[in-house]
Amino acid sequence: MLVGLYVNRFVTLTLQKGSIWMLNAAQIRAARGLIQWSQEDLAREAGVSRPTIKRMESQGPENSSAGNVDRVQKALEAAGVEFIAENGGGAGVRLRK
């Protein structure tokens, strides 16, 4: 659940379940690729428009509403994607085991 959102020009930070979470454009693109979804598939599953997905993937989620970012993240997680926070090795995504 999205608790808060801090946005600056370069990154979106969300407070999720008590920890700071960074979700970026590359993670969204990679997550979609892992589960072989088109932008249209993700838009449908998240309940947002395809232009919203396109904007998130090209300009970053900081240019979208917190609600839309939350919907996209939840849709991808429901499909089996785990987001990996920046931990010195870089942010990423993987499929849940």
What is the structure's pLDDT at 62? 85
> Between the CA of residue 37 and those of 1, 11, 44, 77, what are the distances in Å?
23, 24, 10, 13
> Between the CA of residue 81 and those of 6, 31, 51, what are the distances in Å?
23, 6, 22
What is the structure's pLDDT at 4? 44
What is the structure's pLDDT at 22? 65
d(Cα 97, Cα 95) in Å, to the nearest integer?
A: 6
> Which CATH topology does 2-86 take?
434 Repressor (Amino-terminal Domain) (1.10.260)
pLDDT per position in the chain (97 positions), as tens? 444 444 444 444 444 444 445 689 999 999 999 999 999 999 999 999 999 999 999 999 888 888 999 999 999 999 999 988 877 678 889 998 8
CB atoms under 10 Å from CB of 52, counted, come to 22
